[in-house]
Amino acid sequence: MAELKVLFQDEKDQLDKLKEIIAKQEKEADPLMRWCTKPGCSGSMRADDLEAVRVSCPICATQVCFQCRDEWHSGTCEDNMKTKLEGWVSQHGGVRFCPVCKTKVEKNEGCNHMTCIICKYEFCWLCLGYAAQNANHWNPMSPYSCGAPMIGAAS
């Protein structure tokens, strides 16, 4: 941080903005942290454990589903996503949840090997199984394979 202060000594606004970005990245690395879903609110909240269901924004009191990172809803996260995105998904392609952190992942073309942008988990789009390059998932002879090719249709 000392180097940044020297580099941006005459640009306090730029340094403050950079500090905000670094602080946000540090928060996002925490798997128990969630951002408020209310437009315009910059609130963040931290759950006690990964089994949490609902968290509340300390700034605006908006309720957020911890599992899918969406505004609070009744029913399952999958049902909520299907209802909310029904028209959009039919026009733009598939949307699924990351098997680990439940972040929404979209696939509109390309291979079946997916990497979550939040938790970096690598998975197969078709079976949602672990599919890192060294996991042998794409070898059809492997007991860890679902038999799907790495490159194929967006089912």
Q: Is residue 60 part of a domain?
A: no
Residue 102 belongs to some domain of the structure: yes
pLDDT for residue 82: 78
Q: Which of 71-85, 92-106, 123-137 has the lowest mean pLDDT?
A: 92-106
* Bigger pLDDT: 137 vs 121: 121
Q: Which of these, 118, 68, 72, 71, lies nearest to 96 by C-alpha position?
A: 68
pLDDT at 28 (0 to 100): 79
Mean pLDDT, rounded, for 41-46: 92
Max CA distance (Å), the chain? 61
The DSSP result for the chain, as a single string, is -HHHHHHTTT-HHHHHHHHHHHHHHHHHT-TTEEE--STT---EEE-SSTT--EEE-TTT--EEETTT-SB--SS-HHHHHHHHHHHHHHHH-EEEE-TTT--EEEE-SSBSEEE-TTT--EEETTT--B--GGGTTT-TTSTT--S--SB----
| 124 domain residue, yes or no | yes
- The answer to whether position 115 is within a domain reads yes
pTM of this structure = 0.55
The boundaries of the domain holding residue 111 are: 95-135
**Which residues are annotated as catalytic?**
111
Residue 64, domain member (yes or no)? no
The answer as to whether 42 is a domain residue is: no
pLDDT in tens, 44-81: 999 999 889 999 999 999 999 998 888 999 999 888 88
- The predicted structure's pLDDT at residue 93: 61
Structurally, how many domains does the chain consist of? 1
Confirm whether 116 is domain-assigned: yes
Q: Is residue 56 part of a domain?
A: no
